[in-house]
Structure 1
Amino acid sequence: MTVRRIVPNLQVSDPTSAHRFYADLLDLEIVMDHGWLVTFAAKGSSSMPQVSFATEGGSGTPVPALSIEVDDVDEVYGRAKAAGAEIVYDITDEPWGVRRFFLRDPFGNIVNILSH
């Protein structure tokens, strides 16, 4: 299992208002825009640092504190279930092309685990 990306998700009332600071001030570019979620990334960076701003987590879910992209979401889901982790949103193939589930970390944060 390999972690490919970790993206913080900050809950906001209007994701488009993040553009002035994150795109204009910091020269980040929008790499994903679903209306309810806008993700910015550093241009030309091999590590591609990102941050997202959302009004919801998609499909009517709460906004997760972190999104962690992995190469095999089903493997991680099985491990989470076996460990007795609280699954907040069951594993689902989403219409925007990800397979994901949400679980609660030991600190109470909701974490989105996904594969593209």
Structure 2
Amino acid sequence: MSPTFDAFIGFYPTTDLAATHRFYVGTLGLTLARDQGTCHIYAVAGGGFLGFCLREAVTLPPTVVLTLVTDDVDGVYERLMAAGVTAETAPKHNAEYGIYHFYAQGPSGERVEVQRFDEELLH
């Protein structure tokens, strides 16, 4: 029998927990689900969480991407631009993957993708 999981948490390092909190709560609108002192866990949706833990140094390769899925890609892009967040490009369609998306830079240099699927995901 396959195990039943209740949630998913992806943990990532940050050198500045306060800046990370301002970005994920203040700019993106996520909710702080758990404050563990040197780690914060933010609720995303459907049992998904992002965790950030304080570390002295952060080196994430550009292939590590934190992807947030929303129907309002353009609205999130505008909100991030108004907050002074750096984006690689404006939102665009990617026919190969059937998505509309853009990449932005998080406070610790993490690559954050905001996307919408052309077709609804299977659950």
**TM-score, length-normalised on structure 2?**
0.43
Q: Which has the higher strand share?
A: 1
**TM-score, length-normalised on structure 1?**
0.45
